[in-house]
Amino acid sequence: MSVPSSRAAAVPGPFADADVRERELVEALLDLAGGAAADDSAPGTGTADGSHPKLTALAVHACRRLAREGLRCEAAAHLGAPMGADPAPYGESGPRAARLRLVEHEQCEGPATDTLRTGLALPGLPLDDAALRRWPRYVPAALEAGVRAVHTVPLPGGPRPKDVPGAGVLVVHLLDDGPLGPAATGALTALARACALGLAHQTALRRGDELQEALGSRVVIEQAKGVLAERRRGSVDDAFRALRAYARSRQRPLHHVARDVVEARLADPPFERRTDPPP
């Protein structure tokens, strides 16, 4: 008698499907919440046009989850940004989502725009006459693209400046009229929160690297001041002024000049060693 290789293989029908759905959701949450992958970028530092790998992953995972529920859709995710900033970091799952993201950007109206402004979700809103009155330019474009309803989930974030709207949003463009059930709604919310956690993790890692680099630069400058003060038989303040003047005159970063002094790559004037007593 053969032994089933997994629980899903041993359990028939809908129970096996449920196991697969939950396993896929867990894997998606882990993927989105992770922030240390070398090929991931911190918010705002994705590709030149603003596309961001983690936001793209959120849009794709959202569509895959809803496909498991028998729902057709495309999705986009993007962050809030200071007013007038262009482009804001974004990700999308397909051409409809890409087109409608641009429509919202150009017309300054639509479901993602409202959620970014208010921080509130729009649960399964049909694109009916009420939606047309609310978004008179967005709705015709969405209907032409085959969208029948929209669902948004805000991406949670920390305190923001006054000129920055919501931290971010996941907008799902539903191609069917059927409503989202509680399981689908809960899964989308969990995916959005995991993505926000992953973005925050990436930002913390980037800031840590920046602080480490700044500390390293400060250390080498202090070392160079000591080396140069001893070499010139002067004060550390005079040594710092000489370093700064040299760096400015040659338009080089100060810590690069300092490193060259410490590693004895700069020993010519004004960094030569004095053999006579200073005046």
Q: Reduce the DSSP state of residue 158 to 3 states and report it.
A: coil
Between 198 and 147, the higher pLDDT residue: 147
> What is the pLDDT of the chain when averaged over all its residues?
80
Q: Please tell me the predicted confidence (pLDDT) of residue 233.
A: 82
Nearest partner of 50 among 41, 59, 58, judged by Cα = 41
For the chain, what percent of residues have pLDDT higher than 90?
Answer: 33
Q: Please tell me the predicted confidence (pLDDT) of residue 110.
A: 95
- Asked if residue 201 lies in contact with residue 189, where contact means CB atoms within 8 angstroms, the answer is no
DSSP for 222-250, please give it: HHHHHHHHHHHTS-HHHHHHHHHHHHHHT
Q: Please tell me the predicted confidence (pLDDT) of residue 49.
A: 65
Between 43 and 59, the higher pLDDT residue: 59
pLDDT of 15 strictly over 60: no
Q: Please tell me the predicted confidence (pLDDT) of residue 35.
A: 61
What is the arithmetic mean of pLDDT over 163-188? 82
Query: What six digits make up the tokens of 2?
Result: 């053969």
pLDDT of 186 strictly over 80: yes
Q: Please tell me the predicted confidence (pLDDT) of residue 25.
A: 79
Among 52-66, 67-81, 181-195, 252-266, whose mean pLDDT is lowest?
A: 252-266
pLDDT of 42 strictly over 50: no
Q: Which of the four CATH numbers 3.30.420.40, 3.20.20.80, 3.30.450.80, 3.40.50.12160 does domain 12-206 have?
A: 3.30.450.80
For the chain, what percent of residues have pLDDT higher than 70?
Answer: 80
Q: Please tell me the predicted confidence (pLDDT) of residue 40.
A: 41
Question: How far apart are alpha carbons 38 and 174 in whole angstroms?
Answer: 33
Between 8 and 203, the higher pLDDT residue: 203
Q: pLDDT grade, residue 131 (50/70/90)?
A: very high
pLDDT of 152 strictly over 80: yes
Q: What CATH class has 214-279?
A: mainly alpha
pTM of structure: 0.66
Name every residue whose Cβ is closer than 8 Å to that of residue 36 and which is 6 or more positions away in sequence. 201, 202, 205
Q: Please tell me the predicted confidence (pLDDT) of residue 38.
A: 37
- Asked if residue 119 lies in contact with residue 146, where contact means CB atoms within 8 angstroms, the answer is no
Segment 192-241, tens digit of pLDDT: 999 988 887 777 777 777 777 777 788 888 888 888 888 878 888 888 88
Residue ranges covered by each domain of the chain: 12-206, 214-279
Segment 56-114, tens digit of pLDDT: 999 999 999 999 888 999 999 988 764 344 567 889 999 999 999 999 989 999 999 99
